[in-house]
Amino acid sequence: MWIKILGSAAGGGFPQWNCGCVLCRGVRERKLSTSARTQCQVAISSGEDWFLLNASPDLRAQIEGTAELQPRAARQSPIAGVLVTGGDLDQVLGLLLLRELHPIRIYATASVRRLLRNHNTFFKMLSQEPGQSLWTDITPGVSFALASPAGSSSALVCRPMALQGGFPAYVGERRASTLLAGQAVLGLVIESNHGGGRLAYFPVVADLDANLTTVLNSCDLLLFDGTFWTDDELIRIQGAGRTARQMGHLPISGPGGSLERLSQLQRPRKIFVHINNTNPILDLNSLECQEVRNAGWEVAEDGWEFKL
């Protein structure tokens, strides 16, 4: 299995258009040891076909910057499908960028599929022709083989896992009550039935339990929620707002943070993705980045690739 990190930042990217924090200024002015990052996006393949893990608002530029994802003929694409782990705009806006009447398979839970297709009329642009988008319901805990729009299975098998956390902020309480809470946020465990290693893709994690930690420790590569360093990070910068945990993200540092909670992991290579522009680990010279590296973690950058 080939894995490419096309984007490693959280929503807003790095730098973010309306942010002049030390980090965003530092990357704009090239005064920090860091690099600009697009919004979180990963692509995987076991051969010819590529599958996207979510569809970021930066998807068009990410495809154009990645030779493997570019067409090999007129009106062709190696991108066969998209696996959606939630209904956040940062995870689904890119679907609308794939609207040029090209067959594509979209895997999502029934609740997220209903949320997008029934409640957001823009998404009708993906269904202008029969077979343009093949929405395929997935169920947490039930493994499935990734398949092309024509139906041929790839070697990749995915097990979606239900995580804690609710539907996005644009979903009102009344609408959320018509959806299944256990279908709001997924983590993905993916491996090839041709052998090789196992990938864990968990960009949004509100909490960890013993079962999830065991699953993560069975994987070879872990791409994990690195959104915030501290729980009150955004409040400190904005003067108000919600904590990391209230936004559905376990912070990295402090008691109960992911560094502490995942310190027992033995098997996987551990990489933080989905990094918010306020997170000090973005500065390679920061003490926070040093602490993360000392704990055996890496901080993802756009363009990293792996073979498992």
| Residues facing 200 on adjacent strands | 189, 222
Nearer to Zn ion, 34 or 154 (CB): 34
DSSP 40: P
Is residue 216 within a helix (H) or strand (E), and if so which, with residue range?
helix 210-217
Between 34 and 91, name the residue whose CB sits nearer to Zn ion. 34
Closer to Zn ion by CB, 21 or 110: give it: 21
Rank residues 51 and 272 by Cβ distance to Zn ion and give the closer one: 272
**Which residue's CB is nearer to Zn ion, number 45 or number 279?**
279
Tell me the closest approach of the beta carbon of residue 278 to Zn ion, in angstroms: 5
What angle (nearest 5°) sits at the alpha carbon of residue 218, between those of residues 214 and 222? 95
The distance of Cα 264 from the centroid of its chain, to the nearest Å, equals 23
**What is the nearest approach in angstroms of Zn ion to the Cβ of residue 234?**
10
Min. distance of Cβ 192 from Zn ion in angstroms? 38
Go through 119-156 and write b for each residue having 16 or more CB atoms within 10 A of its CB, e for each that does not.
eeeebeebeeeeebbbbbebebeeebebbbbeeeebbb
| Contact in structure between 283 and 37 (CB atoms under 8 Å) | no
Q: How far apart are CA 281 and CA 144, in angstroms?
A: 35
Chain residues that interact with Zn ion, rule: CB under 5 A: 19, 21, 24, 277
Cα-only R_g, the chain: 19
**CA 83/CA 218 separation, integer angstroms:** 21
Closest contact distance (angstroms) between CB of 24 and Zn ion is 3
Nearer to Zn ion, 66 or 279 (CB): 279
- Minimum distance of Zn ion from residue 302's CB (angstroms): 17
Could you tell me the smallest distance in angstroms from the CB atom of residue 233 to Zn ion? 10
